[in-house]
């Protein structure tokens, strides 16, 4: 986000929401070896 130029605040908000979704659901965290959502799902299935 920091290297992009945005047309307006709404465009920034849309891109920010997409990045937050990526960060929370798709990004693989090296320590967990899976995304945070996958980790939570895996954890709750084991409990």
**What pLDDT is attached to residue 14?**
95
**Per-residue pLDDT tens for 1-47?**
678 899 999 999 999 999 999 998 889 888 888 998 898 899 899 87
For the chain, which residues make up each domain, given as ranges?
9-46
**What pLDDT is attached to residue 32?**
85
**What pLDDT is attached to residue 24?**
86
27 vs 13: CA distance, rounded Å: 20
6 vs 15: CA distance, rounded Å: 9
Q: Quote the pTM value.
A: 0.66
């Amino acid at each position: 986000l920091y290297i992009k130029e945005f047309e307006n605040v709404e465009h920034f908000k849309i891109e920010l929401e997409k990045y937050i979704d990526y960060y929370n659901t798709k990004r693989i965290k090296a320590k967990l070896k899976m995304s945070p959502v996958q980790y939570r799902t895996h954890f709750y299935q084991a409990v």
